[in-house]
């Protein structure tokens, strides 16, 4: 564990460093807030002890700067002039704890132990969120930068979003990013693949059912709308939803109420709905297979996700990303890709989009030697 001590009093700074190093911690010191901020910008620390009364930049300003930087470290404020109001104020603004001077060794060690648990929990939560929600959208093409900009603008609102694009383009990742950057990010994120659920079960899946409402309904079941209450509901492949289910979804969007199958009781729900489709819904409306009023309810914002062939400049970045990701997941060593091999991958037509590209990268990692060569791409891909 790495600890930073920011204090303008040399005696306190050095004594705290010696004590903590004897306990087995790696400790660095800064004699003022300006130096401390500069060190945090260059290094990662698990715990930061910061005095409040300091020249140039006092501890309150240091705390605000550290919190604004979004660091994972637990910040512990220390002061010889502290009272309960000062402690509460610091913690409200983002400090992990407040310790008055003279410093008590046992209190310090307990605080470090608790801070360690907090930092570990924060890191584990970030890893879990990456597994559950996916990671950043990889690429720097103009098309992708436009989508990222739209996500940043739309996510903080409660506007419904219709995400359109071919299979494998990353529509689900757009939805997850919208949720993660929204004010509902701490609430549930529920996905429903409308194409994977039989039409006779879709209403039960979305709105729930009461015990005995049909033959296999042996107990009450909460649907996805109720499960997503307060959060986000992502309806993937909504173009495959039956007209009967569409009518119920429309009512839920209009009135913010649902009723379970087999019940007349209304249940109020607060859900932000995101939808995605690989179909042209306007054509489906003409065919009579999709409700026009539902389309207009869902398409407050429309995000069109481009095919991979429309953002070929992102392919090298995606290949490198998948090489690292697959190596991390499988333990296989990362393979270097020869320039000629990368050129062939960029020139290839990717009808299966990003999903196909990832599968191809995994195939090449398994079948190639120490490096991925043009011969490997010709043999196993083209």
Integer Cα distance of 122 and 115 in angstroms: 10
Q: What is residue 357's predicted lDDT score, i.e. its pLDDT?
A: 95
Which CATH number is associated with domain 142-306? 3.40.50.300
Instruction: Say yes or no: do domains 2-128 and 142-306 share a fold.
Output: yes
Identify which of 40, 65, 34, 48 has the alpha carbon closest to the alpha carbon of residue 1.
Answer: 48
Please state the pTM of the whole predicted model. Answer: 0.65
Q: What CATH code is assigned to 309-380?
A: 1.10.8.60
Give the C-alpha distances (Å, rounded to integers) separating 28 from 23, 328, 368.
14, 32, 46
Q: Can you tell me the distance from the alpha carbon of 200 to that of 245, in angstroms, rounded to the nearest whole number?
A: 9
Mean pLDDT across 300-311: 95
- Per-domain residue ranges of the chain: 2-128, 142-306, 309-380
Q: Where are the beta strands (DSSP E) in 113-259?
A: 161-164, 189-193, 232-236, 257-258
Mean pLDDT across the stretch 205-218? 80
User: Topology of domain 2-128, per CATH?
Assistant: Rossmann fold (3.40.50)
pLDDT of residue 35: 92
Higher pLDDT, 217 or 246: 246
Q: Could you tell me the pLDDT band of residue 175, with boundaries at 50, 70 and 90?
A: very high
Q: How far apart are CA 256 and CA 102, in angstroms?
A: 57
How many contiguous H segments (helices) and E segments (strands) does the chain have? 16, 14
- pLDDT bucket at 282, cuts 50 / 70 / 90: very high
Q: How far is 98 from 116, CA to CA, in rounded Å?
A: 16
């Amino acid at each position: 564990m790495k600890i930073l001590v920011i204090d303008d009093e040399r005696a306190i700074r050095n004594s705290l460093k010696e004590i903590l190093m004897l306990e087995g911690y790696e400790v660095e010191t800064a004699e003022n807030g300006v130096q401390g901020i500069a060190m945090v910008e260059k290094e990662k620390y698990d715990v930061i002890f910061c005095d409040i009364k300091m020249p140039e930049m006092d501890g309150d300003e240091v705390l605000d700067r550290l919190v604004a930087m979004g660091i994972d470290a637990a910040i512990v404020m220390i002061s010889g002039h502290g009272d309960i109001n000062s402690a509460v104020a610091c913690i409200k603004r983002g400090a992990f704890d407040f310790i008055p001077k003279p410093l008590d060794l046992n209190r310090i060690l307990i605080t470090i132990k608790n801070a360690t648990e907090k930092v570990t929990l924060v890191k584990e939560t970030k890893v879990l969120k990456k597994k559950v929600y996916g990671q950043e959208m990889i690429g720097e093409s103009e098309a992708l930068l436009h989508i990222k900009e739209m996500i940043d603008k739309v996510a903080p609102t409660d506007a419904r979003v219709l995400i359109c694009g071919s299979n494998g383009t990353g529509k689900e990742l757009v939805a997850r990013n919208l949720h993660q950057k929204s004010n509902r990010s701490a609430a549930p994120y529920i996905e429903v693949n409308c194409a994977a659920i039989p039409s006779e079960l879709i209403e039960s899946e979305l709105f729930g059912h009461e015990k005995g409402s049909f033959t296999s309904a042996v107990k009450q079941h909460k649907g996805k709308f109720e499960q997503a209450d307060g959060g986000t509901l992502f309806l993937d492949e909504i173009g495959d939803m039956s007209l009967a289910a569409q009518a119920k979804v429309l009512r839920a969007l209009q009135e913010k109420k649902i009723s379970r199958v087999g019940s007349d009781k209304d249940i109020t729900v607060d859900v932000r709905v995101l939808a995605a489709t690989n179909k042209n819904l306007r054509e489906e409306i003409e065919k009579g297979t999709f409700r026009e009023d539902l389309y207009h309810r869902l398409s407050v914002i429309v995000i069109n996700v481009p095919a991979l062939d429309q953002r070929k400049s992102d392919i090298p970045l995606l290949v490198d990303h998948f090489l690292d990701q697959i190596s991390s997941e499988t333990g296989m060593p990362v393979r270097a890709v020869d320039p000629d091999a990368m050129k062939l991958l960029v020139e290839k037509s990717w009808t299966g989009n990003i999903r196909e590209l990832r599968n191809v990268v995994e195939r090449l990692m398994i079948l190639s030697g120490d490096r991925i060569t043009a011969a490997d791409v010709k043999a196993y891909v083209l």
